[in-house]
Structure 1
Amino acid sequence: MADRSAWPLHELLGISEWTSSSQDVDKVFGLVGLASDQQRVKHLVDYTYDAPSLYRKVALTYLLDGDLKMLNSASDHSFAQYTHLPTWVPDWSSWPRASSLGIYFRKHGDPPRMQPANPPTVSSDGSRLTVSGQFTDRVVAIGRHLPILRETTDRALVFIFLESWCRLAHRYLDAPAYRTTTRGTSVAHSDPVDIAFASLLTLDCPLAHMACTSYTGAYSRLLEQTPCHLPRNGGSVQYKDVDVFRYRNRMLTSCRKRTFFITEQGFMGLGPYFLRPGDQLVQLDGGWTPMAVRRKRAGCFELVGEAYVPGLMKGGWEGEAVYEDICLV
C-alpha cells in the first residue's frame, strides 16, 4: 500500500475482502477515497443504492471499459450472499472465497492489461453480459475438497487430500512413477507429472531461499516428514525443515478454497471451489487467466470463476484465436 497511485478500487476490494462493515455498501464506499482511480468511481457514492445495485454498477464501470480483471473477483458465486446477482458480478459482502489470482500476480509480475478487440456489452435489463472468448478445454475430473476452514491436521491434509490429488493426476495423465519409502509412503520423483503437480500446489510461486533444488523435492520431504499417525487430539506438525515449512504454508494459501482438477487435454489446475466435471474453460479476449463457465441454458453460461492452469495462462494457449460471443448470466 506504500504506493497509493498503484491501487484502483477493484484491486482494493480484492485485498480487503476479510474486512467488515455495518452496511454492505460501505465495503465499496469506504475504499473510494483510497483508490488511485477515485475520480473515475466517486460518482458511485450514493446511499440510495442497495448493495446488489452498487456491486453491479462497480462491475460495469470496469467491464464496459474493457477491464476484464473484474471477472476474476466473481469466482464461486455459490458463496454469494445476494444470490440473485448475475454470476459475473462479484458479491463483495460474501466470504470465504479464495483471494483473486489478480492479487497473487500483482505480487509476482502483473502481466500488461490486454484491451479486448470487442469490449463486453450488457443487456438492457443488466442481467446478461456478452464477452468475446474462445473455448479451450473441458474439466473431466476434480479432486477432494480441502475443508474451507483450517481445522485439518497435517496428516489429513497430506495423506487424505494431497496424495489423492496426486493419484488422480497420475490416473488421468498416465505417467506412473512411484517408489515406496521405508515407511510405506508413495513418493514420486523426477517424473514430469510430479514436477508439474508439486509446483502447481504453490501456483508456481518462487519460494525464496529454498535450499532444495525443486518443488518436487520439497513436496517429497513434506510427505516423508509428516507422521502417518498423530495423537487423537490432532495438532500441527512442527516442521524443522525450513523448505518444507515454507512449501506447506505457500501450498495452504494457494489451495484453500480452490479445487484441483484435470482437463480433457491433459492439463492440471486449481479452480473455483464449486467447479464440476463438464465445466468448460474459456480464454476471454482481454483476459489473462482461463475462466470456468457452466452451461445454464441454450446460448447462456454461468461464470464459475477463475482458474490457474499452467500452459493455458495468458500467452500459453497455442491454438488459433477464433473468438465468439459468450453470454454470461
Structure 2
Amino acid sequence: MKWLWIDAICIDQSNLEERASQVAMMKDIYSNASGVVIWLGDSDVRLEAALVAIYAISKKFQADTGMAAACIVGPDGLRLDPTSIEHLQSYGLFEILSNTPENIYKLLAHLFALPWFRRVWVLQEAFAHSKITVRLGEHKLPWGSVILAALWASGFTRTYTAMSASEHRVERTIDRGYLPELWLGLLHTRPVRGLSILELVSRARDFEASDPRDKVFALLGLANDVGAHESRAAGLRPDYTKTKGEVYAAFAKDLIMTSGCLDVLALVNTFAPRDQRQDSPSWMPDLDVPIATIRGLGFPRKYNAGFSTKADMHHVTGPSDDPRSLMLTGFGVDRVHYVTKSILTFSRNLKVYIDSTTEAVTELWKTYARFNRLHASEEALLYAYIELVTATGFAMPTAFPTYPLGRIVPPREVPSIIADFAAYWSSVEPSFSSFGDRLGSHLRQLAEAADAEQFGVLAGKACHERKFFITAEGRIGLCPTDAQEGDEVVILYGGSVPYVLRETGAGCWTFVGECFVDGIMFGEAEKFRRPAQVFHLL
C-alpha cells in the first residue's frame, strides 16, 4: 500500500486560514516525500509519437555520455555541463528517427503545450524533490527524460519560430509549445543558489492559476531571498483574506521596502491602456497578465539610470500607509515633448512597423533620429539610435549555467549589434541612401555576413507596443503607449531606468511606466542631480 498526498484533496480549499497555512508548508511537504509522481493526463497519437522521440533522445544521450536520463537531475539540480548540453542540442534526430528536427519539434511542442506545464503550483512539485516519475496515460518515464527533450527543443526554438509565417503555418500550440525557461532555471539553481522572488513571479506570469493570488503565494517557497515564513513582511506571506489587487500591491510595496530596489515596477502592465486598469493603483504590477520578462527595461537589470541609489525607506509607505499609495523619492530630468501617434508593433515577418505598412526602424531614423543634435557625429548618433530600438537588451547564450535564465546585457555589449542592424536595414533599404557615403559604405559591408533576423527579434522585443518620443531637451527614447506630451521624465532612487510620471493635482502622480531615454541610462543624470522630490503615486 502507498500513501499519497494530493493537494486538491488534502487541503480544505474553502478554509482560507488552512489554505494559507498549508501553502506555506508546500515546499516541506514535497521535499520530505519519498517520491513525487507527475500525472500529465491521458495520451493520444501525437503524444505517443512525442514519447518515441523522448526515449530516442535519452537513449542516444546515454550512449554518447554514459549518463542515464534518470541521473541528470539530483538534489543539487541539473548535473549537466555546457559541453553536454551543446552536444545534446546538436542532435539532428534524422539518423535516429528518420524524421526532421521540425517535425520532432512539433511533436515535443504538443507535449509541452499540455496544461500541466503551465500551472504555477506544479513548480513546487517538480523542484522540491529529485526523485520524480512522470506518467502519461499508461506510460511511465523519468523526469530527466523530459528535461533532456526540453533542452534539445530549447536549442531549436529560435531557429523554428524565427521562420516567417509565409514559410510555416505555426499552430497556436506551437507558440507555447516549449518547456518554459523558468523550469530550466529552477533545475540548475536548486537548492544552492535558487532564484529571487522577482525572477520567479516575472517569469511565471504566463503560467496558469485558478486563483490569481497564487501567482505570488505559489512561488514564495521557491525563492532564495524572502527568508523564513515567520520573518517575512506581510506582503510576502500567503493571506487569502486579501483581494488580488491587495496581494499584488502589498507584494510590490514590501519587495521595494526589503530590497531598496524598484525593479518590481518593470512588471507594471504598461502595454494595456490605462483605462483598462482604472481600478488598480497605477504602480501595481498585475501579475495575472502574461507579459514576457524579456520585454522589460528595468528588469532584469542592465542599466544604471539611478546611479546605484536605493529607495528612501522613510517615504515608501507614506504617512497614512494607504495600500493604494506608494511614495518614492527622486527628481525630474526632462519632459515628454513629442510622442508618435501610432504604437510600434512587431510583425511575424520579423519587422517593426509604425503603422500597418511603414517599417519603423528606418522611418524613425529618417524622420526624427538623424536630426538629433546631441551627438557629435553621424556614427555616434546611429549607435545611440541602435541602442534605443533594441533597448530591452540581449540574453548572452554563453552564460549558461552561471545564468541559467540568460544574462541580459545592454545592446552596446553585443558584438554583432551594428552588423545585424546593417543586415536588417539592407532588407528594407539596400542602397543605404539615408546615411552619408562613408557610413553607408561601411554598413553595406557589414550587412553581408550579419543576421537581420536576430536584429529584428531584438528590435521587436523592445519596440512592440511602445511609442517613440522626443523630450523637451531633444533626447530620443521609447515610452509606454499611454505617455502624453507634458508628462515628466524622472529618476527615482532605487530604479535602474527612468520613469514617466503624470501629475494629477494635489501633489499626486500617476505612474505611466518605465522608459528608455538616450543619454541618461548609465548614470549620467547624477551630473545634473536636482534636490530630491517625493512623488506620491496613486
TM-score category, normalised to shorter length: 0.7 to 0.9
Q: Does 1:60 align with 2:253?
A: yes
Provide the secondary structure at the position in 2 that maps to 1:64: helix
Provide the secondary structure at the position in 2 that maps to 1:103: coil
Structure 2 residue corresponding to 1:254, chosen from 462, 466, 470:
462
Aligned-residue CA RMSD in angstroms?
Answer: 3.5
Alignment-derived partner of residue 491 in structure 2: 283
User: Once the 2 structures are TM-superposed, how far is the Cα of residue 94 of structure 1 from its aligned partner?
Assistant: 2.0
Structure 2 residue corresponding to 1:301, chosen from 509, 514, 519:
509
Q: List per-residue Cα deviations over 1:114-141 (Å, max 9, x = no partner).
A: 3234442333432222211101011112
Alignment-derived partner of residue 232 in structure 1: none
1:182-201 maps to which residues of 2 (within 5 A)? 190-201=378-389
Structure 2 residue corresponding to 1:219, chosen from 416, 421, 432:
421
Q: Distance in 1 between matches of 2:473 and 2:272?
A: 27
Provide the secondary structure at the position in 2 that maps to 1:105: coil
Q: Distance in 2 between matches of 1:201 and 1:96?
A: 19
Q: Distance in 1 between matches of 2:454 and 2:358?
A: 19
1:1-329 maps to which residues of 2 (within 5 A)? 1=185, 2-4=188-190, 5=193, 7-38=195-226, 39=228, 40=232, 44-65=237-258, 66-76=260-270, 78=272, 83-96=278-291, 99-105=295-301, 114-117=309-312, 118-122=314-318, 123-143=320-340, 144-147=342-345, 150-151=347-348, 154=351, 156=353, 159-170=358-369, 173=372, 190-203=378-391, 204-206=410-412, 210=416, 215=418, 217-226=419-428, 241-317=449-525, 318-329=527-538
Q: Distance in 2 between matches of 1:27 and 1:303?
A: 23
Q: Distance in 2 between matches of 1:172 and 1:277?
A: 20
Counterpart AA for 1:7? L
Q: Distance in 2 between matches of 1:251 and 1:313?
A: 18
User: Once the 2 structures are TM-superposed, how far is the Cα of residue 220 of structure 1 from its aligned partner?
Assistant: 3.7
Is the 1:272–1:306 Cα contact (8 Å) retained in structure 2? yes
Provide the secondary structure at the position in 1 that maps to 2:267: helix
Q: List per-residue Cα deviations over 1:259-280 (Å, max 9, x = no partner).
A: 2221111211222232222211
Which moved further from structure 2: 160-169 or 311-320?
Answer: 160-169
Q: Distance in 2 between matches of 1:161 and 1:173?
A: 17
Is the 1:300–1:326 Cα contact (8 Å) retained in structure 2? yes
User: Once the 2 structures are TM-superposed, how far is the Cα of residue 163 of structure 1 from its aligned partner?
Assistant: 2.7
Q: Percent identity?
A: 24
Gaps of 5+ in 2: 1-184, 392-409, 431-446
Q: Distance in 1 between matches of 2:304 and 2:338?
A: 30
1:165 to 1:63, Cα distance in 2 relative to 1, 3 A: same
Q: Distance in 1 between matches of 2:534 and 2:494?
A: 13
Is the 1:218–1:243 Cα contact (8 Å) retained in structure 2? yes
User: Once the 2 structures are TM-superposed, how far is the Cα of residue 22 of structure 1 from its aligned partner?
Assistant: 1.7
1:152 to 1:141, Cα distance in 2 relative to 1, 3 A: farther
User: Once the 2 structures are TM-superposed, how far is the Cα of residue 328 of structure 1 from its aligned partner?
Assistant: 0.7
Higher relative helix content: 2
Q: List per-residue Cα deviations over 1:135-181 (Å, max 9, x = no partner).
A: 1011112233123x7456748579432233223434762599xxxxx
Is the 1:55–1:89 Cα contact (8 Å) retained in structure 2? yes
Provide the secondary structure at the position in 2 that maps to 1:127: coil
Gaps of 5+ in 1: 177-188, 229-238
Q: Distance in 1 between matches of 2:490 and 2:412?
A: 27
Provide the secondary structure at the position in 1 that maps to 2:218: helix
Is the 1:142–1:262 Cα contact (8 Å) retained in structure 2? yes
Provide the secondary structure at the position in 2 that maps to 1:101: coil
**Matched pairs, number:** 302
Is the 1:77–1:87 Cα contact (8 Å) retained in structure 2? no
1:116 to 1:164, Cα distance in 2 relative to 1, 3 A: same
Is the 1:72–1:101 Cα contact (8 Å) retained in structure 2? yes
Alignment-derived partner of residue 179 in structure 1: none
Q: Distance in 2 between matches of 1:322 and 1:111?
A: 14
Is the 1:285–1:323 Cα contact (8 Å) retained in structure 2? no
Provide the secondary structure at the position in 1 that maps to 2:411: coil
Q: Distance in 1 between matches of 2:322 and 2:369?
A: 47
Q: Which has the higher contact order (CA 8 A, sep 6+)?
A: 1
Is the 2:352–2:456 Cα contact (8 Å) retained in structure 1? no
Q: Distance in 2 between matches of 1:155 and 1:247?
A: 10
Counterpart AA for 1:63? I
Q: Distance in 2 between matches of 1:124 and 1:17?
A: 28
Q: Distance in 1 between matches of 2:528 and 2:414?
A: 34
Tell me the TM-score normalised to structure 2 length: 0.49
Q: Distance in 2 between matches of 1:251 and 1:242?
A: 15
Provide the secondary structure at the position in 1 that maps to 2:211: coil
Q: Distance in 2 between matches of 1:116 and 1:156?
A: 37
User: Once the 2 structures are TM-superposed, how far is the Cα of residue 35 of structure 1 from its aligned partner?
Assistant: 0.9
Counterpart AA for 2:217? F
